[in-house]
Structure 1
Amino acid sequence: MEALYNRQIYGETTAIKIEAMGSTAVGIANRWALGWPKRVLSLLVNHQFMEKLIAQTELEKDILANETALKHLSPREILEMHGVSQEPPEAIQHAG
């Protein structure tokens, strides 16, 4: 399993939770942190990161597990064919 990139931004508890979710979750977290660091920080500040990461991980795993006819394509290509965004979602700003 690849190492969690920039682990300290998550805090120890969240970093351990991400790592415990497995290689798919770590890969998604790394992709998000490398490509969209401000969006990741916004999700963390608004306490939405784990919820969004869990949803994205489940979505990607489900699609890849059920797409048996396209094994000649990379996982990223399969996800693109299904319209799965590589980007993290925007944080929802709560009024307050």
Structure 2
Amino acid sequence: MDSRLLRYFLAVYESHGISAAADDLRISQPALTKSIQKLEADVGARLFERRPGGVVPTRYADILARRVRLMDIEYRHAIAEIEAARGGRE
């Protein structure tokens, strides 16, 4: 699992556009497009429908976004728990 790809995916999903997400992430549009294509290949499904005004998430993107957000929450809980353990506040 490449967390960078998932972070990039969420940026596109939430902004409904490759250009806006690329600007927010401070990466080039072609690099972001390539990353989304790699993720689509990894999951075996098209995540966005490309339209003239931006991108529209597919139902597969909706499923992935929901799960990636849960993963992000769990990651943040893990970091907080580790910080508490390092501080002796287990």
TM over 0.5: same fold? no
Q: Which has the larger radius of gyration?
A: 2
- Higher share in helix: 2
Superposition TM-score, scaled by structure 1 size: 0.32
Higher relative contact order (CA 8 A, sep 6+): 1
Q: TM-score, normalised by structure 2?
A: 0.33
